[in-house]
Amino acid sequence: MTELEAGRAGTLAPVRGGAALGRYRDVLIALIAFAVLASLPLFTGSKALLDFVIRCSAYGLFATSLNLLVGYTGLTSFGHGMFFGLGAYSFGLIMQKLGVPIPVAFVATLAITALIAAVIGAICVRLKEIYFAFVTLAFQMLIHSTILSWASFTGGDQGLRGGIPRPAFLGINLANHVHLYIASCALLILGLLAMRQIAQSPFGYTLRMIRDNAARASFLGIDVWRAKLTVFVLAALFAAMGGMVMALFVSGAYPEFAYWTISGEAIFINMLGGVSTFLGPMVGTVLLLLLNDTVTRFTEYHGIVLGIVILFFALGLRKGLLDFVAEWFSQRRDAGERR
Cα torsion 27, 32, 38, 40 to 10°: value is -150
The DSSP bridge partners found for residue 172 are 169
Instruction: Give ∠ CA 109-155-248 in degrees, rounded to 5.
Output: 45
**What minimum distance in Å lies between the beta carbon of 246 and other proteins?**
22
Residue among 271, 288, 289, 321 that touches other proteins (CB under 8 A): 271
174 vs 67: CA distance, rounded Å: 29
67 vs 74: CA distance, rounded Å: 9
Position 151 contacts other proteins (CB under 8 A): yes
Candidate ranges 43-51, 53-61, 298-306, 323-331; the one touching other proteins (CB under 8 A): 298-306
| Best CA proximity match to 50, nearest among 185, 181, 179 | 181
Using the minimum distance from each CB to other proteins, give the nearer residue, 142 or 172.
Answer: 142
Position 313 contacts other proteins (CB under 8 A): yes
Type of residue at 233: V
Residue among 84, 232, 257, 260 that touches other proteins (CB under 8 A): 260
121 vs 159: CA distance, rounded Å: 26
**What minimum distance in Å lies between the beta carbon of 211 and other proteins?**
13
**What minimum distance in Å lies between the beta carbon of 25 and other proteins?**
30
Which residues, 60 to 89, sit near other proteins by CB under 8 A?
Answer: 70, 76
Position 326 contacts other proteins (CB under 8 A): no
| Best CA proximity match to 288, nearest among 323, 247, 320, 252 | 320
Phi/psi for 79 (5° steps) reads -125, 20
Size of the site for other proteins (CB under 8 A): 41
Which residues, 199 to 258, sit near other proteins by CB under 8 A?
Answer: none
**What minimum distance in Å lies between the beta carbon of 264 and other proteins?**
7
- The beta-strand segments (E) located in 68-206 are none
**What minimum distance in Å lies between the beta carbon of 74 and other proteins?**
11
Element (H, E) at 161: none
Cα separations (Å) of 252 from 163, 171, 248, 261, 316? 5, 23, 7, 19, 39
Residue among 186, 224, 310, 325 that touches other proteins (CB under 8 A): 310
Residue among 52, 134, 205, 225 that touches other proteins (CB under 8 A): 134
- CA–chain centroid gap for 213, Å, is 24
Position 318 contacts other proteins (CB under 8 A): yes
Write out the residues near other proteins by the rule CB under 8 A: 70, 76, 123, 126-131, 134-135, 137-139, 141-142, 145-146, 148-149, 151, 260, 264, 267-268, 270-271, 275, 301-304, 306-308, 310-311, 313-315, 318
